[in-house]
Structure 1
């Protein structure tokens, strides 16, 4: 078969072009460090690499989210630490104020110190993060969550949610706490608190204030005697009444809160009897309360679990009651009883508040530890993605350099062969 010169030229040119293309391809791979420079180089690996890249991007977003969550939790934990210090400081001053050796001026001085602690607590409750959002208002984070009303009492204006942030594909973590969980809650194990209240006028109970006649009765406790008592966990109130049938002239009745109201019917009373005072102990619902002093008709003592509907927890209310009673002189028996009762109740409330703050702080610390664990898992996942991506598209330089040398030799051989073929002619043999 006769092969024309044109055919030889075309085949030689095509061979050189192929060798140049292969040589250029391996050159690009070496220059970029990637085996798959274009999707056409390895369509399957290129498609898998796109998915791995997307997974890496999502993992990086979660990592950035964890940084933000850690900042919020660290700030929350720091503020909770400051709040716990304030509660301890307030409790220390109430213990000091309980001393009978202090004068009214001394107690007023302590009240002034408590006011400073009280204002510090309000500032901590209205703390903001680095973006100007209020930490403890839930999702209502654009305004202070705790504000004073027209009567000078603190009210919560936030919601009962905790802001959440997704730190991983399967984990949505609360990164702040709402004000209710910190300042208006108690631990689940909080026990009973006794409080002398004023309820004969139908208004809200006022801590430490007895009924209209203002007896000088004081209480200690309550002490838990039997948690298995069927009535343990219910709310009770001890009401004193004028009773001419008893020697002391005063009787008491213990009423239980049930079905949304106080059970005042004689058949539903828990305990009744004559009040004789001087260390008289009343037992009901698995708790004991010791009473001392004289009681007057309509005097009333509430005994309920802290955080219940009848005895809601409120750290600011506790501070306000303590400040109020310390600012007033205590000269009469009724005023001294009010002072003693209010301080006893306030100290118990502060103990519960401290336990609650420490519980919330421990929760924040646990979440910070969880972030460390999730960070470690995310780092390992990122390393796996990078390794997978490297296996899919990265270049093996040893193989690439060998291939580069081979393609270079092939290209040179093609060029040399073309030169030799081009110089061949039948006239050289004639």
Structure 2
């Protein structure tokens, strides 16, 4: 087989060009530290590397969501802590106010201070996050959730929505508690009723009569039968109590018979008409207590601002009548319930924060594992790469040297 001079030159130039390109690629891989730069380098590994990178990008997005959720929840936790402190301050004011030596002016000053605490709590309830959205408005983040009217009553304008954020493929965490839950659903310490003590007779008592617990066991007729009235009769040591419905009819016992007035025993439960009522304290002849439920026959929850406004209204009275003292004891119980309610909501926020921390650690471990596997496929083995580059350079130099010598050969050199 004959080789022309042009073929000889072309073959050697192609060989030098290939070796030069191979050396260039190897230098590029050494500079980048990446073994698989294109799918042509290793098709099977390239597909796996792409999947691993997508998984790492997804984990990074979840980590960003976790950071965002943590910021939101820590802000809410701080607000709830402040709200809890305000409820405690309100109770301290009420404890301070129960002093018969205080003048009306001094009580008015305490009422002004309590009103200031209510203003602070309202500001907290209308707090915004870093994006300007209302935290406690549910899904209505652009609407101020709590509005106070001229009478001081506070109403909720938001909804019960809870915004959620994905922190893993199958895990979501709530970013907020709605305002109705936080500020409108304080468990009623009395049970299912609100209590009106205005019918108590005057006079100082060692411990005024009060409702310790009033719950609904059978709500069939509660909405239509209320308000219920507890009427006391008799002299000291022989006081009796009768429970009647809104029309003045005595409630029925478990046998379906109307109850008659029965001896009042503090601490003993009265079971009648689907109700269970427990009373404590000293009762007197002609005392009356009224129990009210809402239209659904249940007031198992109270509003924070409703409770605080009730406390403020109490400060405008004398505070030393039997009805006021019984109401005062109820207010203290309700303020304790407010503080406990804020604590429970804050604890739930803490549980969510702990869940974020746990998921962050899980993602961090998964990132290390996935990145290690990806690195094993994609990253360059520098020792091997340097060796291969040296071999390529030696081959290139040999080819160039041989080609230089061969292209200079001629028969004239031997004549």
TM-score (norm 2): 0.83
Equivalent residue in structure 2 for 1:326, among 315, 318, 323: 315
Mark the CA change 1:387 to 1:179 in structure 2 (over 3 Å): closer, same or farther. Answer: same
Give the structure 2 partner of residue 167 of structure 1: 167
Q: CA deviation at 1:411?
A: 0.4
Deviation by residue 1:7-48 (Cα, 9 ceiling, x = unmatched): 322221222122112111111111222112233222232232
The answer as to whether partners of 1:195 and 1:345 remain within 8 angstroms in 2 is no
Mark the CA change 1:281 to 1:374 in structure 2 (over 3 Å): closer, same or farther. Answer: closer
Give the whole-Å Cα distance in 2 for the aligned partners of 1:423 and 1:76: 85
The answer as to whether partners of 2:139 and 2:163 remain within 8 angstroms in 1 is yes
Mark the CA change 1:278 to 1:105 in structure 2 (over 3 Å): closer, same or farther. Answer: farther
Structure 1 gap segments, 5+ residues each: 198-207, 256-261
Give the structure 2 partner of residue 239 of structure 1: 229
Give the structure 1 partner of residue 12 of structure 2: 12
Give the structure 1 partner of residue 65 of structure 2: 65
Deviation by residue 1:138-181 (Cα, 9 ceiling, x = unmatched): 11121221101353310011111222222222221111111112
Q: CA deviation at 1:73?
A: 0.7
**Pairing 1:195-344 to 2, within 5 Å after superposition:** 195-197=194-196, 208-210=197-199, 215-216=201-202, 218-222=208-212, 238-240=228-230, 252-253=242-243, 266=250, 268=252, 272-274=259-261, 283-284=270-271, 288-290=278-280, 292-294=282-284, 296=286, 299-302=288-291, 309-330=298-319, 336-344=321-329
The answer as to whether partners of 1:49 and 1:393 remain within 8 angstroms in 2 is yes
The answer as to whether partners of 1:194 and 1:301 remain within 8 angstroms in 2 is no
Give the whole-Å Cα distance in 2 for the aligned partners of 1:266 and 1:277: 16
Moved more, 308-317 or 349-358: 308-317
Deviation by residue 1:66-120 (Cα, 9 ceiling, x = unmatched): 1111111111111111111111111122223334454444433322221121111
Give the structure 2 partner of residue 389 of structure 1: 374
- SS of the aligned residue for 2:333 comes to helix
Give the structure 2 partner of residue 200 of structure 1: none
Mark the CA change 1:303 to 1:35 in structure 2 (over 3 Å): closer, same or farther. Answer: same
Mark the CA change 1:20 to 1:375 in structure 2 (over 3 Å): closer, same or farther. Answer: same
- SS of the aligned residue for 2:136 comes to coil
Give the whole-Å Cα distance in 1 for the aligned partners of 2:247 and 2:16: 105
**Pairing 1:406-417 to 2, within 5 Å after superposition:** 406-417=391-402
TM-score (norm 1): 0.80
Structure 2 gap segments, 5+ residues each: none
Alignment pair present for 1:147 and 2:147: yes
Q: CA deviation at 1:129?
A: 1.5
Mark the CA change 1:216 to 1:252 in structure 2 (over 3 Å): closer, same or farther. Answer: farther
Give the whole-Å Cα distance in 2 for the aligned partners of 1:353 and 1:176: 19
- SS of the aligned residue for 1:80 comes to helix
Give the structure 1 partner of residue 182 of structure 2: 182
Mark the CA change 1:36 to 1:242 in structure 2 (over 3 Å): closer, same or farther. Answer: closer
The answer as to whether partners of 2:148 and 2:154 remain within 8 angstroms in 1 is yes
Give the whole-Å Cα distance in 2 for the aligned partners of 1:115 and 1:231: 39
The answer as to whether partners of 1:126 and 1:145 remain within 8 angstroms in 2 is yes
Give the whole-Å Cα distance in 1 for the aligned partners of 2:106 and 2:150: 29
**Pairing 1:98-137 to 2, within 5 Å after superposition:** 98-137=98-137
Give the whole-Å Cα distance in 1 for the aligned partners of 2:264 and 2:249: 25
Q: CA deviation at 1:130?
A: 1.9
- SS of the aligned residue for 1:64 comes to helix
- SS of the aligned residue for 1:327 comes to coil
Question: What value does the CA root-mean-square deviation take over the aligned residues?
Answer: 3.6
- SS of the aligned residue for 2:87 comes to helix
Give the structure 1 partner of residue 156 of structure 2: 156
Give the whole-Å Cα distance in 2 for the aligned partners of 1:149 and 1:295: 40
The answer as to whether partners of 2:186 and 2:304 remain within 8 angstroms in 1 is no
